[in-house]
Amino acid sequence: MQIEAKSPVSEKQKRINHVEYNRTLKYKRSFLRKPPYPLIPKPYPLEYVKGRMVRLNSSGDVDGSTKVLQDAVYSFNPNNNITGIANNSTDWSAQYDYGYDGLGRLTNATGSYLGIAEGNLSREFQQSFSYAKNGNLTSKRVHDPVSGNITDEWSYQYTNHQVTNIDSSKSGNDAFVMQYDANGNLTRQRDNAKDLTKRIQVDSQDRITQIQDGNNAILGSYWYDEGGFRIRKSSLEPKNNQFANVEILYPSKFFGLEFIEAENVITSVNNVYLNGVRIAALNEVGALAYFLTDQVDSVSLVLDDEGKTLSKMQYLPYGETFVQRGDLNFAPKYNSQELDRESGFTFTMRVITIRGLRGLPVRIRLLTGSLIRRVGTVSRM
């Protein structure tokens, strides 16, 4: 892919060189070189029918041979809902089929993945969904892909359209219990199956400011600018098989600084965006990551500057991870939302808000705004 975009480092270099710290830090080079703009992969050939994208193809020269990185073909019903996706590449393939009711709500989904370059690694899923007359999700069923038998069924209970309890036929009643404030913000989440509790604090703008565990230990703290964008994050994250305090500063969405207290080191990263979607990241030692997305902007492949796959992701209908291979540490996920590992929540454009968390058929992860496009719509968000 010819990324004809200049690194934003030049805009930030002066600011970085004048940062003052109240302690001695080992600062890894602040100057980031410009990307070498390798020819991988070639720009997406897109095909449209009736204004709908029906094909997304990406290929490139990898290790001296031409590889198809993704070739997704989409089919639709008359209501513009995606009914099928066939994605075939050189190293893997995936197939998805979706069914809907008369109101356009997702009622069933099946999917399969074959890792051709991974010894024909095979994964399959089958799910079905039911809804109340008001549109709230009432049940999610996980089926055995071979027999079709139900292996787990989640039943959702609501108060004012907010999920308060989720019962599981596999894990028992009250597998998940949620509490909300008067504005509809999620303030407590209990996973009884895993014996995990999260307490969530929000500000007057319904943005998460702090997350604690069941023992009131702080997992993450968050700060925002006047526009509502997150500019700082302090969290406990796993580093080298132990938890470490990590501080991340966001001067802008194009640039970030990370400070790991245990190592007393600051590192930095440049981000490159196209039409509001991050397409590449460059760290200070010159390592590049290119993000290839699908029709709903979900990151499906992460490539290095030689076109080799660093990480590969496929998703279940409402954003849970179906398959992830390679490096598991990349945060961009479904709908190009970022994963905060300390909370398990995802967010869009560095903005975290939890108002109106209703009827999500996932593990109560935070999905904002455009939760899903065409492949089933979550009502009453």
Question: Which pLDDT score is estimated for 348?
Answer: 64
DSSP state of 65: E
Question: Which pLDDT score is estimated for 41?
Answer: 38
Question: Which pLDDT score is estimated for 33?
Answer: 31
Cα 270 from Cα 268, distance rounded (Å): 7
Both tokens of residue 320? 């849970």
Give the CATH fold of the 9-347 domain: RHS repeat-associated core (2.180.10)
Residues in the chain, overall count: 381
Cα 303 from Cα 281, distance rounded (Å): 10
Cα 195 from Cα 171, distance rounded (Å): 12
CA-to-CA separations, 187 to 177, 182, 201, 314, 327, in angstroms, rounded: 11, 10, 6, 30, 32
User: pLDDT (tens digit, 0 to 9) for every residue of the chain, 381 residues total?
Assistant: 333 333 333 333 333 333 333 333 333 333 233 333 333 334 455 666 677 889 999 998 898 899 999 999 999 999 999 999 999 999 999 999 999 999 999 999 999 999 999 999 999 999 999 999 999 999 999 999 999 999 999 999 999 999 999 999 999 999 999 999 999 999 999 999 999 999 999 999 999 999 999 999 999 999 999 888 889 999 988 777 788 889 999 888 899 999 988 888 889 999 998 888 888 999 888 889 999 988 888 899 999 989 999 999 999 998 889 999 998 878 777 877 878 888 888 776 444 434 333 333 332 222 222 222 233 322 332
Question: Which pLDDT score is estimated for 376?
Answer: 32
Sign, CA dihedral 8-339-142-134, equals negative
Cα 321 from Cα 335, distance rounded (Å): 12
Cα 57 from Cα 63, distance rounded (Å): 19
The pTM score is 0.76
